[in-house]
Structure 1
Amino acid sequence: MSLQETTYTFESLPLRGVETGTNILVTGPALGGIRELTMRMLLRRHSREGTLFIAADVDGRETLSAYEALGGDLDFARVGVVDCTENGADDESCNVHAVGSPADLTGAGIEFSSLYERIHENGAARVRTGVYTLSPFVVYAPAKSVFRFVHTLTGRIRTADGLGVCAIDPDAVDDQTLSSIAQAFDGQVELREVDGQRAVRVRGLPDQPDGWQPVEFDAA
């Protein structure tokens, strides 16, 4: 098995590859570029990869449009969205499956499992899963339910040799909640902006650059 087959890589970001089965919590301000950072980490690197979004802040079609704008390949056999927004709607042509509310964690879990299996059956040997963001789930659902959902999600990704990238704005949740959620992940990528300059720092993952590394993109 080649290095490419045993790692997930992130082009155009100051991050080294991570092993399959890794779950990463991405933290940073909602308006500081965290959405684009998360999207870039989910870009498929070859045709044998799939990408699955769990969208709670923006609807499924908007999520796919943002992904495509960053260079994402919209092969709907291997790309799909679980739309958890309140105004979401099913769209089979774009492989969007709506749940109806961030409060419906059971429904989100069922749709995630179904789409994950379908993407694998369509030829994706491994899948990048992204959650943007966890914050609405924390607002709409009981804390214990959110913790259980996150642990189940990351467990499934780990077992399937996938990659999990889940974003959250630390200012939108209390410290205890953030700490509890973080326990489900192998490491964190922190994003900050100082004097108009964005940078990322990796915590908990092996063989990554030390300290803050500059990152450039056009996200607002």
Structure 2
Amino acid sequence: MSLQEPTYTFESLPLRGVERGTNILVTGPALGGIRELTMRMLLRRHSREGTLFIAADADGRETLSDYEALGGDLDFARVGAVDCTENGADDESCNVHAVGSPADLTGAGIEFSSLYERIHANGAARVRTGVYTLSPFVVYAPAKSVFRFVHTLTGRIRTADGLGVCAIDPDAVDDQTLSSIAQAFDGQVELREADGQRAIRVRGLPDQPEEWQAVDFDAA
């Protein structure tokens, strides 16, 4: 893929490429494959792309390990994680910076900016940022603070021509909270699982199929 192409692409998923600066909210059940879907959307497709995680459900090292298991290239000059779990710890060897709690949104924002700048300075012309998931932030921090954090995060990604992929389980938050959070994003990718079959559909993004598309992670 040429760096002149104005899209981020998603191999092995029924999704077309999206423009630089796009932020996508991924919704679906926590046990229905949303973690794997989110990580597959964050797989680097060019040697000069970077990936940055904001990890709240699993610690930073586990998140990076799961990413590698799905085919992610752990070039720690261009890949890292902000660990927002309560038991997280800094680990410079794998570019993990911990903030100590999902309630520390200010710390998460500072570490995100620092890591983003470092990854970009290390040669990543474009950076994919993933948040898995937003649900712990909603539980631990005041709603207004979460909304402000999400809007600030997506704004920075948009300005930097990055890609943002943020996951949330809609069953873990009320409808009003979900609706307010969704306003910060350009569109949504919805995941469902029925009778052992998973499918996704897209809402709000141009040039994407709007009907449900089957997805098989085992074959990806």
**What TM-score does the superposition give when structure 1 sets the normalisation length?**
0.97
- Indicate the SS of the match to 2:77: coil
> CA offsets per residue over residues 180-212 of structure 1, 9 Å max, x none?
000000000000001110000000000011300
8 A contact 1:192–1:199 mirrored in 2: yes
SS in 2 for 1:63: helix
Relative to the length of structure 2, the TM-score reads 0.97
For each residue in 1:112-152, what CA deviation from the matched residue of structure 2 results, as whole angstroms up to 9, or x when unmatched? 00000000000000100000000000000000000000000
Q: Give the distance between the partners of 1:175 and 1:4, measured in 2 at CA.
A: 39
How far off its partner does 1:167 sit? 0.1
Secondary structure at the aligned position of 1:66 is classed as helix
Q: Distance in 2 between matches of 1:31 and 1:2?
A: 36
| RMSD value, Cα | 1.7
What is the identity percentage for the equivalent residue pairs of Structure 1 and Structure 2?
A: 95
**Counterpart secondary structure, 1:190:** strand
- State the 1:171 CA deviation: 0.1
Residue 29 of structure 1 corresponds to 29
The CA deviation string for residues 65-92 of structure 1, in whole angstroms up to 9 with x for no partner, is 1000000000000000000000000000
Mapped partners of 1:2, 1:125: distance in 2: 11
Superposed CA offset, 1:153-185 (max 9, x none): 000000000000000000000000000000000
Extract structure 1 runs of 4+ deviating beyond 2 A.
Answer: 1-5
Structure 1 unaligned regions, length at least 5: none
What residue number does 1:129 align with? 129
- For the 8 Å contact 1:36–1:219, the answer to whether it is kept is no
The structural deviation recorded for 1:218 is 4.5
Question: Which residue of the partner structure matches residue 115 of structure 1?
Answer: 115
**Is there any run of 5+ residues in structure 2 with no aligned partner, and where?**
none
CA distance in 2, matches of 1:210, 1:67: 27
User: Cα distance, 1:6 vs. partner?
Assistant: 1.0
The 2-side partners of 1:68 and 1:126 are apart by 19
Q: Alignment length, in residue pairs?
A: 220
Matched, 1:214 2:217: no
User: Aligned residue for 1:15?
Assistant: 15
